[in-house]
Amino acid sequence: MIMDVFMGARPLWAVLVSIPAAFLILASRNKPNLREFWTLAAAVLKIGIVYSMLPAILRGETLSCRPLILAPGIELFFRVDAAGMLFAALASALWLLTSVFSIGYMRSLHEEHQTGYYASFALCLSATMGIAFAGNLLTFFIFFEMLTLATYPLVVHERNEEALKAGRQYLTYTLISGQMTLVGIVLVYLTAGQGNFIPGGFMGGTADGPVLAVIFLLLLAGPAVKAGMMPFHGWLPAAMVAPTPVSALLHAVAVVKAGCFGVLRIIGYVFDPGLLLEIGAAKPLALLSGITIVFASLIALTRPNLKQRLAYSTIGQLSYIVLGAALGTSSALIGSFFHLFAHGIMKITLFFTAGAIYTKTHDLDIRKLSGLGLTMPLTFMAYTFCALGIAGMPLAAGFISKWNLLLGASESGQWGYAVILIISGLLACGYLLPVAYSAFRGERDPDMSHIEGEPNLWTLMPLLITSIAALVLGIFPDAIGHFYSLARIAAENILTGTY
Partner 1 sequence: MMAHIPVLLVLVPLLTALALPAVNWMMPRLTQIFLKSALLFNLALAVLAMRHVVTEGPWHYWLGNWAPPFGIEFVVDAMSGTVVLVTAGMAFVIALYARPFFKMDEAGLQARTLFYVLFTLMVTGVIGVAVAGDIFTLYVFIEIASISSYGLVAMGGRRAAFAAFRYLILGTVAATFYLLGTGLIFAMTGTLNMAQLSTLLPPMMGSPAILAALCFVMLGLGTKTAMVPLHAWLPDAHTYGPTPAIAFLATALLKAFAYGIYRFLYQVFGGHGQPVTAMALQILGWLAAAGILYGSVMAIAQKDFRRMLAYSTIAQISYIPLGIAIGTPAALAGAALQMISHSMSKGCLFMIKSGMHLKLHTTQISELRGMSVVMPFSSLALTISAFSMIGLPPTSGFFVKWQLVRGAAEAGFGWMMAVLVLSGLLNAVYFFRILENVFIRKPEPDVHSDQSHGPMTSAGPELPLPMLAAMMILAAGILAAGVGSGWLTEHIFSLISLAGGGL
SS3 of 44, please? helix
Residue 141, burial from CB neighbour count under 10 angstroms (0-12, 13-18, 19+): buried
Of 4 and 161, the one with the shorter C-beta distance to partner 1 is 161
Q: Tell me the closest approach of the beta carbon of residue 187 to partner 1, in angstroms.
A: 6
Among 70, 374, 479, 480, binds partner 1 (CB under 8 A): 70
Nearest to 379 by CA among 398, 363, 358, 394: 358
Among 7, 34, 41, 68, binds partner 1 (CB under 8 A): 68
Say whether residue 478 binds partner 1 (CB under 8 A).
no
Q: Tell me the closest approach of the beta carbon of residue 262 to partner 1, in angstroms.
A: 15
Of 75 and 411, the one with the shorter C-beta distance to partner 1 is 75
H or E stretch covering 184: helix 161-192
Q: Which residues contact 93 (CB under 8 A, 6 or more apart)?
A: 47, 481
Say whether residue 56 binds partner 1 (CB under 8 A).
no
Binding mask 122-151 toward partner 1 (x if CB under 8 A, else -) reads: ----------------x--xxx-xx--x--
Taking the CA atoms of 195, 323, 83 and 262 in sequence, report the sign of the dihedral they define.
Answer: negative
Site size toward partner 1, by CB under 8 A: 32
Q: Cα(467)–Cα(422) distance, rounded to whole angstroms? A: 23
Nearest to 62 by CA among 114, 133, 140: 133
Say whether residue 190 binds partner 1 (CB under 8 A).
yes
Nearest to 408 by CA among 479, 330, 339, 473: 330
Say whether residue 159 binds partner 1 (CB under 8 A).
yes
Cis amide linkage into residue 231, ω under 30° from 0: yes
Say whether residue 66 binds partner 1 (CB under 8 A).
no
Say whether residue 403 binds partner 1 (CB under 8 A).
no
Around 111, how many Cα atoms within 13 Å sit in the side-chain half-sphere? 25
Say whether residue 183 binds partner 1 (CB under 8 A).
yes
Among 32, 64, 75, 363, binds partner 1 (CB under 8 A): 75
Say whether residue 214 binds partner 1 (CB under 8 A).
no
Say whether residue 305 binds partner 1 (CB under 8 A).
no
The interface with partner 1 within residues 224-253 (CB under 8 A) comprises none
Say whether residue 168 binds partner 1 (CB under 8 A).
yes
Of 89 and 137, the one with the shorter C-beta distance to partner 1 is 137
Tally of residues, the chain: 499
Say whether residue 100 binds partner 1 (CB under 8 A).
no
SS3 of 468, please? helix
Say whether residue 213 binds partner 1 (CB under 8 A).
no
SS3 content of the chain, % helix, strand, coil (to 5): 75, 5, 20
Nearest to 323 by CA among 204, 213, 419, 183: 419
Binding site for partner 1 (CB under 8 A): 68-72, 74-76, 138, 141-143, 145-146, 149, 153, 156, 159, 164, 167-168, 171, 175-176, 179-180, 182-183, 186-187, 189-190
